[in-house]
Every structure is written in structure tokens, then in C-alpha cells.
Amino acid sequence: MKKVFGIMGILLMLSSMESIIAQTDSVIVIQGEETQVAERIYNEGITLYKSQKLDEAIQKFGDALNEDSEFALAYLNRASVYTDKGDYSSALLDFNAYIERKPDDAQAYYLRGNVYFALLKYNQASEDYTKAIQLNPKNDNAYYFRGVIKFEKELYQDAIADFSEAVRINPDYAYAFNDRASAKKMLDDIDGAIADYTQAIKANPKHAFFYNNRGSAKRKKGDHKEAIADYAMAIDLNSDYIIAYNNRGYTYFELGEYTNAIDDFSKAINLNSEYAYAYNNRGNAKYKIKDYHGAIADFDKAIELDPNMAYTYMHRGNTKEMIRDTKGALADWEKAASMGVEAAAAYAKRGKEDNF
């Protein structure tokens, strides 16, 4: 009976916001001897904000607003502090109050868009990024994050257009190159993806993430040795990079270098003992070297960690057949078939015909 073995990996990663923080140009200190009481309190809030005394800063901005409820900058900076604290509901209230008073401030729309982005409210975020771009067409970050949203919606050509604008404005925007590459990869423009990942690496050569992604594009192209070199560079930069170990193991598996694959999957498991994919993958590699009992143990663990891994049931069934556990094999194939794996359904049918 012909076997179909799949091996699971995480080969594509999209950049996301590393942090959502207030932009420095929203921190404005009002100077002068004739400042009003509200402005003096506001300035105290700015000092506290710069010192990362966030709760105290919030209190001062609130005190300033108690003196003058139309003090727009106090709303803006208190919103920024709330954003830093992860209190997005309060941040939105203050951004709304600021924008009501200053409807032509492009940066405010961008910052509010970041809060919506963090809340996964992508439609509202996209609207704010678009408004920010209309008011300031040079806002590379607004183009970038709007592109990320389009990527998440699988609008890859539209995402590429926004990432392209971001890198046109900022030729060193590493994340925009990386994410444009990922969009191109989704459209099977592998050469274009590799070129953009390379640009991302040039802009930020110390970021392991970019090497991992370029390695996956090279693997998809069939350049396995170059892919392994990129995964190795990612691991050199970040020795705890679990996904890079898994992906390099995946590539070794495809090359038939099963011992190396097992070593890398084991490293991924040592770093995260609950990484179900790595157990599945190591089980497949062990099957290839005829360590059937070891493979079954790995498939057992993968299923324990994630009972929804349909192909793992099929893999375990295939392996049980090799040790003459025919009833166990049939049960696993039927389980995989019930989860939609057509190959497993064929195995189960054949097994029944052969009087398993």
C-alpha cells in the first residue's frame, strides 16, 4: 500500500507591531513664564511620562483637563500613556476627544489606528490609517500597517501596493520589505519574495526573523542547501529560535537527511516541550529510519498536545501497520478519514478489504 507522508512546518511569518507606543512628536511641552495653571500641570505630566511614571502622568493630565476641558494636548498624551499601559478602551476615548478638537492632525489618526490594530479591529484601523495618509502622504508607518491588514484579509496585491509605498518613502523600512516578500510568496512570486527578504536583511542584518523567512522562500524554490544556510544564520542570531529549528529540520527531511532532521526537531522540542508540530515531524523522520516505536511515541505526544492534527492520526496508522498492529492502524486511519483526510479514507477502505 502506497503511503503519503506529510510533514508540518511553519514556513511563512508576517511581521506584526513589535509594540504600540506613543510617537515622540505627540509629547509637547508648553514653555513660557505666562503659562496657565492647566498648562503647568500638563508639563508636569509630560515630565512624569518621560520618566515612565505612567499612572502619575495620567493623574496630571486628568488634573490639567479638570482645569481646562478643551486642552487637546492633554487628551492626546493621556491617550498615549493609556496605550503604553495597554488600556486601549481608555486610550480610544482620549484619542476620540483629541480628534474631535483637532480633526486635521494626521498623527492622531495614525496613533488611534494603532490602538484599533492592537484590538484586532482591522476595519476601523484601516480607516484611520487611510485618513492619516490623506492628511500626511509621507506617513510610511500608516502605509505599512494598512498593508498588514490587507495581508491578513488575503488581499495580497493591495498589500504589496501599500508596502511598496512604505519602502518608497523609507528605503530602509525592513519590516515593509519583509512583509512585501511574504505577500509575493503567497502569490507564488518566489524570486520576488527572495529579493525583498534580502532587502529586509540589508536594512536590518541582525534580525533572525528575516533569515528564517528567506530560508523558507528558498526551500519553496527548491534551493534546500541555501535554505539551510539561512536557517542556520537565523539560529546563530537567536539560539532559541524554535521555528527556525523546525524549518531547518523540515528541509533536512526533504533532502532525506533524517538524522539531521531528528536532531533539529529534538532541539525545537527541548526549547518547547509542547510544540506539537515538532513531535509530528520527528515522528515522520523516525519512521523513515524505521524507528517505528519511537515514531509512534512522537505521534502519541503530538496528538496529546493537539487532538485536531488529522494527518498525525494517519501517520500513526501507517506506522502501526509496519509493526503489525492492524487494528490500531485501521482505527487511526478511520479517525483521520473522519477529519477529512482523503488518503486515510483510502487506507481504511483497503485495510477492510484486506480483512484487517
**What is the rounded CA–CA span in Å between residue 14 and residue 216?**
12
Q: Cα–Cα distance between 170 and 104 in angstroms, integer?
A: 23
Burial 206-223 (b: 16+ CB within 10 A, else e): ebbbbbbbbbbbbbbeeb
Alpha-helix runs per DSSP H in 204-325: 208-221, 224-237, 242-255, 258-271, 276-288, 292-305, 310-322
DSSP 344: H
In this model, does residue 90 exceed pLDDT 70?
Answer: yes
Question: Where in the chain are the domains?
Answer: 18-119, 221-298, 308-356
> What distances in angstroms separate CA 140 from CA 58, 77, 187, one per listed residue?
29, 22, 24
Residue 53 backbone phi and psi in degrees, to 5: -95, 80
Q: Identify the band that residue 353 occupies on the pLDDT scale cut at 50, 70 and 90.
A: confident
Classify residue 259 as exposed, middle or buried by CB count within 10 Å of its CB (0-12, 13-18, 19+): exposed
**What pLDDT, on the 0 to 100 scale, is given for residue 42?**
94
What are the pLDDT digits (tens) for 263-305?
999 999 999 999 999 999 999 999 999 999 999 999 999 999 9
**What band does 355 get if pLDDT is binned at 50, 70 and 90?**
low
User: What CATH superfamily classification does 221-298 receive?
Assistant: Tetratricopeptide repeat domain (1.25.40.10)
| pLDDT at residue 16 in the model | 43
The answer regarding whether domain 18-119 maps to CATH 1.25.40.10 reads yes
Coil, strand or helix: which one is 155?
coil
pLDDT confidence tier of residue 356, bands split at 50, 70 and 90:
low
pLDDT digits over 147-201, tens only? 999 999 999 999 999 999 999 999 999 999 999 999 999 999 999 999 999 999 9
Q: How high is the mean pLDDT of the chain?
A: 91
Work out the average pLDDT over 330-344: 96
Rounded Cα gap, residues 48 and 275, in angstroms? 43
Cα distance between residue 103 and residue 115, in whole Å: 17
18-119 and 221-298 agree in CATH topology? yes
With a CB cutoff of 8 Å and minimum separation 6, the contacts of 119 are 88
Model pLDDT for residues 96-108, shown as the tens digit of each residue: 999 999 999 999 9
The whole-number pLDDT of residue 22 equals: 37
Nearest to 175 by CA among 209, 215, 214, 126: 209
Kindly tell me if the per-residue pLDDT of 31 is higher than 70: no
